[in-house]
Amino acid sequence: LTADKYAVKRGDFAKLSDEDLSHFHSILNPNQMITDTNDLIAFNQDWMKKYTGQSQLVLKPKTTEQVSKILAYCNERKLAVVPQGGNTGLVGGSVPVFDEIVISTASMNKIRSFDESSGIFKVDAGVILEAADTFLAEKGHIFPLDLGAKGSCFVGGNVATNAGGLRLLRYGSLHGSVLGLEVVLADGTVMDSMHSLRKDNTGYDLKQLFIGSEGSLGIITGVSILCPARPKSVNIAFLGLESYEMVQKCFQTARSDLCEILSAFEFMDHDSQLLAAKSLKTTHPLCQEDETGVDSVPEYPFYVLLETSGSTKEHDDEKLENFLEKVMGDETVVDGTVSQDETQLRTLWTWREGIAEASQQFGGVYKYDVSLPLDSMYSLVEAVQERLKKLNLSSTEDESKPVYEAVGYGHIGDGNLHLNVAVREYNKEVEKALEPFVYEFVSKHHGSISAEHGLGFQKKNYIGYSKSEVEIRMIKDIKHHYDPKGILNPYKYI
Ligand code: FAD
Ligand code: 2HG
Ligand code: ZN
């Protein structure tokens, strides 16, 4: 059934036997192994409910040594495995395709150390991102990554996907902030590289290979990361704009006039806000007092959420005020509101962070996460909307059409668009209309088919749109060298 569903064949891997189960019992306690059919469901299904595997076994090691013993055995037996963190990945990389064993890092959730003077933070891979940030907040520091799934995703999963998130603009990519990793390779070898050094030019920077490797090269068990001081003053402006050109102009002005205090610059189109409204069921931040219907969103084609973070409130307030005066004075921005307190600030973020979840409320969603030059970025959304209409697949009103709506939003400050096609059901005809159309568009505009979510299962066959033959060969060489039997997350990535 799965082979038909996915058009891939099960690899030549061993099948799980009673002897295998007994062996795992010799490494783990019974409560670290899941075999019950109902309990397995959550580990077999991805966040979008788009990909479903058939694993019969989940292992939840507590220590690096246990991970090492498990992998050494699986490698010897040629048992395929899927490393899993919080299972919030959006490309089908975190769930099995067939009967791969799931190795969950959920029980590896200890904070190892924090150095207050340097901000160097060492954690097990299974620490939840939000828990890591809450710990750091008490020490006056911040985790240099934030994203909508923070309450569920794990730090190890973030590193494995090289997650970008909402403040990459300010703190940069994990390739810069991660200082060291502990990783268990396919044969059980432990690479202990939990360094605390910002500078170390001795040999290849091996940790970089694992940042964004999506479980294909090893299981990350520990992360050492540099965490900056937590900003004392945070402001958010939520703005309405008349065109995509104005969004770009607003970004340029924000970069030059807010400069060092600009910490996020996100954009959302009108229909993405309509989706969010249907799911959040609260009043949109730019609604007037007399239009407080939960479903009503003002008619601006685009919205921007920008955040400033700094150390002095008066200084930041003044800068933001001057910026707003300028962009409203020259009509770059036509409406807006500024956060007054912590609660309001969080509410404003929900209108951006909530879109990912809102886009799948009608039955499913096809997600595309691309890098494109700013000036051609939104034209992808328009091209897709037009194509779906022309093929008669899309209608918000007509429930017989599979597509509800295609919306665009994202980290415009990083050149990263999220195109979400909300569907009433997953449907091969819609998928064919979108793929490879979207990837061809991106390649033609010299973009990347995955800005931050990765390749996983969804984009494995499309890597050629973003990488050259030489690059693909080198990636395959590395994979083959460190995982010659291909047991780590097969059918994905490459
Ligand atoms: P999982 O989903 O469990 O796994 C993801 C991949 O990493 C899989 O291939 C898995 O095999 C591998 N993996 C997991 N743990 C390990 C490990 N310890 N060692 C080796 N491999 C491992 N992403 C962004 O980049 N930016 C965003 O703004 C963003 N926002 C999101 C918002 C929502 C609401 C959701 C649902 C997802 C969002 N994502 C975003 C997707 C993002 O990839 C994940 O949220 C997160 O980084 C994955 O962490 P996880 O622990 O859930 O990993
Ligand atoms: C975000 O930025 C995430 O909200 C999710 O990367 C995007 O769901 C998506 O397509
Ligand atoms: Zn994103």
Give the residue-averaged pLDDT of 75-80: 98
Contact 451, 416 (CB under 8 A): yes
Tokens 């955040």: give the residue: 307
Cβ neighbours of residue 46 closer than 8 Å, sequence gap 6 or more: 52, 87, 89, 90, 92, 94, 95
Instruction: Using DSSP, state whether 295 is helix, strand or coil.
Output: coil
Q: Are both 233-356 and 359-453 of the same fold?
A: yes
Q: Does domain 359-453 bear CATH number 3.30.70.2740?
A: yes
Nearest CA to ligand 2 atom 9: 356
Q: Give, for ligand 1, the residue of 45, 70, 94 to mutate: max count of ligand atoms closer than 8 Å to Cβ.
A: 94
What is the predicted ipTM?
0.99
Whether ligand 1 lies within 6 angstroms of the CB of 148 is answered as yes
Distance CA 494, CA 490 (A): 9
pLDDT at 296: 82
pLDDT interval class at 292 (50, 70, 90): low
Percent of the chain with pLDDT over 90: 96
**What pLDDT band is residue 293 in, cutting at 50, 70 and 90?**
low
- pLDDT band for position 5 (cuts 50, 70, 90): confident
For residues 266 and 306, is the Cβ–Cβ distance under 8 A? yes
CB of 165 within 6 A of ligand 1: the answer is: yes
Cα dihedral 221, 219, 95, 408 in deg (nearest 10): 80
User: What is the bridge-based pairing of β-strands 58-59 and 101-104?
Assistant: parallel
Q: Which of 88, 91, 145, 147 to mutate to test the pocket of ligand 2 (most atoms within 8 A of CB)?
A: 147
> In this model, does residue 2 exceed pLDDT 60?
no
CB-based contact 122:487 (threshold 8 Å): no
- Separation of 206 CA from ligand 1 center, angstroms? 21
Q: Which ligand is nearest to the CA of 146?
A: 1
pLDDT tens, residue by residue, 33-60: 999 999 999 999 999 999 999 999 999 9
Q: What is the pLDDT of residues 429-444, one digit of tens each?
A: 999 999 999 999 999 9
Burial 297-332 (b: 16+ CB within 10 A, else e): bbebebbbbbbbbbeeeeebeebbeebbeebeeeeb
Q: Is the pLDDT of residue 239 over 50?
A: yes
367 lines ligand 2 (CB under 6 A): yes
Question: What is the mean pLDDT of the segment spanning 244-259?
Answer: 98
- Beta strands across the sheet bearing 302-310: 335-338, 233-241, 302-310, 262-269, 403-411, 416-423, 364-371
pLDDT surpassing 70 at residue 291: no
- Is residue 295 pLDDT above 90, yes or no? no
Q: Which two tokens stand for residue 481?
A: 């060298």
Query: Is the CB of 87 within 6 Å of ligand 1?
Result: yes
- Helices (DSSP H) in 239-354: which residue ranges? 244-257, 270-280, 313-329, 342-353
187-207 mean pLDDT: 95
| Every domain of the chain and the residues it spans | 2-107, 111-226, 233-356, 359-453
- Which CATH number does 111-226 carry? 3.30.465.10
Claim: this prediction has a pTM higher than 0.90:
yes
pLDDT for the residue numbered 4: 60
Lowest pLDDT segment from 21-25, 148-152, 295-299, 450-454: 295-299
Name the strand (E) or helix (H) holding 133: helix 129-138
- Indicate the top mutation candidate among 84, 158, 221, 412 to test ligand 1's pocket, ranked by most ligand atoms within 8 A of CB: 84
Query: What is the average pLDDT across 459-474?
Result: 97
CA–CA separation, 282 and 232 (whole Å)? 29
CATH class, domain 2-107, is alpha beta
The closest-lying atom of ligand 1 relative to the alpha carbon of residue 451 is 25
Region 167-178: what's the mean pLDDT? Answer: 98
Please report, to the nearest 10 degrees, the dihedral formed by the alpha carbons of residues 370, 372, 376, 379 taken in order. 0
Determine the residue of 145, 355, 357, 452 to mutate for testing ligand 2's pocket, defined as the one with the most ligand atoms within 8 A of the Cβ atom: 355
Mean pLDDT of 73-97: 98
Residue 403's beta-bridge partner residues?
A: 394, 423
Fold of 233-356: Alpha-Beta Plaits (3.30.70)
Q: What is the mean pLDDT of residues 131-151?
A: 98
- 272-288 pLDDT, tens digit per residue, is 999 999 999 899 999 98
Backbone angles phi, psi at 68, to 5 degrees: -60, -45
The letter for the amino acid at 413 is G
356 CB within 6 A, ligand 2? yes
Residue 249 confidence (pLDDT) above 80: yes
* pLDDT at residue 312 tops 90: yes
The two beta strands, 178-185 and 120-124, are unpaired
Question: What average pLDDT does range 160-166 have in this prediction?
Answer: 98
Q: Is the pLDDT of residue 1 over 60?
A: no
User: What is the pLDDT averaged over residues 444-461?
Assistant: 97
Beta strands in 89-167 (DSSP E): 101-104, 111-115, 120-124
Q: Is the C-beta atom of 148 inside 6 A of ligand 2?
A: yes
